[in-house]
Chains A and B, each alone.
Chain A
């Protein structure tokens, strides 16, 4: 069965600290996609990144970076030099590429990140 685990319920850091959000996933499929979304208090889910299971290259986008390791089924997200505006709930999600019938996402329970000034 598919499952996404985000063991960190809440993280609190002081501005400018680096912070890593952990994500561990389970799937039997060899082809799948992993996502990170940000949910600010407004409720909208903001797409951050998508990786497919064949691309293990780490990615950096500004202050954000992602570390995908198939060997440990992890897809961790690091924010460098955190800012107050980074405060939000962050979700990791998994989608299997099965015949394109749906783009259903399986979400983790989320990590609430609070960045203190």
Chain B
């Protein structure tokens, strides 16, 4: 079975631009979560979506938004990019929400903002 797939794997953008990152969950998984991992730090929770509804949001500015599609794939959008947005963006899928539903992570998208 295919794991969580993210695209693109690498991305270079300029300050002020907008970016869209994509995630396809494991087949049958209805929840997708997004995490930001700045170099040298642990991942930080951005969003969780379940059945196309936002179920949780971390401490990130409104420049960050996401959505989940009927096929449960998800997009993370970041507007007005700042240098500090440079990070590895990880997507994780799970069958449901709640701690009894383990997260399965993808390989991430590495975003560099110049």
Contact = CB atoms under 8 A, between A and B. Distances in A.
Interface of A: 4, 33, 37, 42-47, 50, 91, 93, 95-97, 100-110
A44 B107 contact: yes
Interface in B18-72: 31, 33, 35, 40-45, 48, 55-56, 58
Which interface class (under 10, 10 to 19, 20 to 34, 35 or more) fits B? Answer: 20 to 34
A28 B109 CA distance: 34
Contacts of B104: 47
A104 B42 contact: no
B99 interface: yes
A33 B106 CA distance: 22
Given A43-B107, A44-B105, A44-B106, A109 B98 contact: no
Nearest to B42: A107
Nearest to A4: B42
B14 interface: no
Given A100-B98, A102-B48, A43 B108 contact: yes
Nearest to B54: A102
A60 to B, nearest CB: 20
Interface of B: 31, 33, 35, 40-45, 48, 55-56, 58, 88, 90, 92, 94, 96-108, 110
B17 to A, nearest CB: 23
A105 B107 contact: no
A109 B48 contact: no
Nearest to A46: B105
Contacts of B100: 100
A110 B35 CA distance: 15
Contact of B101 (A47, A91, A96, A103): A103
A91 B94 CA distance: 19
A32 B33 CA distance: 19
